[in-house]
Homo-oligomer: A and B are copies of this chain.
Amino acid sequence: MSKLRVNITMSIDGYVAGPDQSLEHPLGVGGERLHGWLTALAVFQDMHGGDGGVVNESTAVVEQWFENIGATVMGRNMFGGGPGPRGDDPWRGWWGEDPPYHVPVFVLTHHAREPLPMQGGTTFHFVTGIESAVEQALAAADGKDVSVAGGANVIQQCLALHLVDEMQLSIVPVVLGGGARLFDNVGDAGLQLEQVRAVEAPGVTHISYRVR
């Protein structure tokens, strides 16, 4: 049975992006401090066309993020390009011509757009409404799992609707003091979490949960 899986890095004070997200600061001001543990990894550099990087206890965790994933859901801000309808030279995402997804990616938006096939197996589909996006992603995944890439707002909607089956939080020793809180807007959902595993790694602790 296909699962909806969330993997995201969270500051110890609960934020998954800093304040004042913009084109210049897609992760918000200071938000890049969340991901130092990740960008330092060889496995991350490989995926994004770089080289070098380290191998440590986080390596297997990150490799597992991508195992058995058949489709991805993401929010409009994560896809990027700013708000509003699209012009003649539409935005093609942050990731160049070969995005690191290699599966169908369902981008939540209110603005219709033809599917955008990229190299390497990634096709961006533009859809409206979280439940429809998840439904289409599960169909496209064809028995594999669906990952929810972010941002916070999309994950919150999935949590509030009890659509998430597994969540892995990579908790970093950073106090952001403001930004997008992962667990805003889900307080009344009555979420039941079960801790499955915790992995200590340099500068981060990965805790995985089953969600009901």
User: Which residues of A pack against B, CB within 8 Å?
Assistant: 12-14, 169, 171-178, 181-183, 186-189, 191, 193-195, 197-200, 202-205, 207, 209
Q: Which residues of the partner chain B approach A194 to less than 8 Å between Cβ atoms?
A: 173
Interface centre among A173, A197, A198, A200 (most CB of B within 10 A): A173
Question: Of the candidates B13, B188, B199, which one forms a contact with A177 in the assembled complex, judged by CB atoms under 8 Å apart?
Answer: B188
Given A12-B169, A183-B13, also A193-B207 (CB < 8 A): no
Question: Of the candidates B187, B188, B200, which one forms a contact with A197 in the assembled complex, judged by CB atoms under 8 Å apart?
Answer: B200
Q: Which residues of the partner chain B approach A204 to less than 8 Å between Cβ atoms?
A: 195
A200 to B, closest residue via Cβ: B198
Task: Verify A209–B13 contact, CB threshold 8 A.
Answer: no
Given A173-B194, A205-B205, also A187-B14 (CB < 8 A): no
